[in-house]
């Protein structure tokens, strides 16, 4: 009987007449990749880094344009709710899901209402069409704009009758507001009497520091449209949180007085 080793399949076949010491490469052995990067060619991680940076910037701009934006409080007209220099987050999507509510703190453009704080017109956009397009894009995403923006609290919605003062309080559709939770300590609801029916598509807004706030009350005179009210379509969004300074961090909920059932029952249809 031949030895058992003779029954084994040779690991390498040798062709007849070939050099027995020469081996045929295993068909499963790896071969060099013709597309592989030649040795010594430098990697380019900066391209990946640049791509990450560009994507991050685009996402940031999209978020700023359509979702949320940071605004700085420029004056003391909203004290003690908001202090000069505070940074607030403004939700730009909320009014696509619901209407503007009484008690909301809103940021809005002076277009169609109060104009600028000085009374001078805002600078005109560039005359060059390309520059105008660039300006519009930058304004839409909140990076740069020549428009004047304000931040106030919504007191009256379209069709509301807002009156001051009835027994020392502001009333909306005959319902008195308890404003102690947000008015500047010791401030009166208003030193100026008014009785206004808010026009369609507009809002009656007031600052929480009533003694110094230049709000709807101060724009009831001739030269300002809508008895000092502001257009709903110029509202950029709702301020919902203070994020700076750290000592001021907190949300900005709608005060309880605006949740009165009688206030909503007596509200006109919008």
Condensed to tens digits (0 to 9), the pLDDT of residues 76-133 reads 999 999 999 999 999 999 999 999 999 999 999 998 889 877 666 566 666 777 776 6
User: Is 76 among the residues known to form the active site?
Assistant: no
**Which one from 152, 190, 213, 216 is the annotated catalytic residue?**
152
Dist CA 12 CA 22 (whole Å):
9
224 vs 1: which has the higher pLDDT:
224
225 vs 147: which has the higher pLDDT:
225
User: What's the pLDDT at 165?
Assistant: 93
User: Is 77 among the residues known to form the active site?
Assistant: yes
Residue whose C-alpha is closest to residue 69's, from 157, 151, 155: 151
Condensed to tens digits (0 to 9), the pLDDT of residues 146-185 reads 678 999 999 999 999 999 999 999 999 999 999 999 999 9
Condensed to tens digits (0 to 9), the pLDDT of residues 52-68 reads 777 777 766 666 666 78
CA distances from 235 to 66, 111, 151, 156, 215 (A): 13, 10, 10, 14, 15
What global pTM score does this model have?
Answer: 0.72
Do 257 and 141 contact (CB within 8 A), yes or no? Answer: no
Condensed to tens digits (0 to 9), the pLDDT of residues 10-36 reads 433 444 554 555 544 444 444 444 445
Do 157 and 270 contact (CB within 8 A), yes or no? Answer: yes
Residue whose C-alpha is closest to residue 195's, from 236, 145, 156, 148: 156
Do 204 and 152 contact (CB within 8 A), yes or no? Answer: no
222 vs 163: which has the higher pLDDT:
163
Dist CA 107 CA 69 (whole Å):
11
Determine the number of helices (DSSP H) and then strands (DSSP E) in the chain: 4, 12
**Which one from 75, 76, 77, 113 is the annotated catalytic residue?**
77
Mean pLDDT confidence for 231-245: 95
Which tokens go with 26? Answer: 């295993």
Which tokens go with 214? Answer: 């230049």
């Amino acid at each position: 009987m031949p030895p058992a080793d003779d029954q084994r399949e040779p690991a390498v076949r040798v062709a007849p007449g070939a050099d027995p010491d020469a081996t045929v490469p295993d068909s499963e052995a790896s071969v060099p990749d013709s597309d592989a990067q030649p040795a010594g060619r430098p990697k380019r991680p900066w391209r990946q880094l640049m791509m990450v940076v560009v994507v991050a910037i685009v996402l940031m701009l999209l978020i700023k344009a359509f979702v949320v934006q940071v605004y700085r409080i420029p004056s003391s007209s909203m004290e003690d709710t908001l202090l000069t220099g505070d940074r607030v987050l403004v939700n730009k999507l909320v009014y696509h899901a619901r209407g503007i509510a009484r008690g909301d703190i809103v940021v809005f453009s002076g277009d169609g209402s109060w104009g600028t704080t000085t009374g001078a017109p805002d600078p005109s956009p560039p005359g060059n069409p390309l520059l105008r397009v660039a300006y519009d894009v930058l304004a839409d995403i909140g990076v740069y704009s020549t428009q004047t923006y304000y931040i106030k609290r919504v007191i009256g919605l379209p069709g509301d009758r807002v009156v001051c003062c009835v027994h020392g309080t502001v009333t909306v559709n005959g319902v008195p507001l308890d404003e102690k939770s947000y008015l500047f300590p010791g401030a009166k609801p208003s030193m100026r009497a008014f009785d206004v029916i808010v026009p369609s598509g507009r809002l009656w807004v007031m600052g929480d520091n009533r003694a110094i706030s230049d709000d709807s009350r101060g724009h009831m005179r001739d030269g300002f449209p809508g008895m000092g009210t502001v257009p709903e379509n110029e509202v950029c969004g709702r301020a919902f949180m203070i994020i700076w300074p750290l000592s001021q961090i907190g949300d900005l909920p709608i005060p309880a007085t605006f949740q009165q059932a009688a206030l909503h029952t007596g509200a006109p249809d919008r």
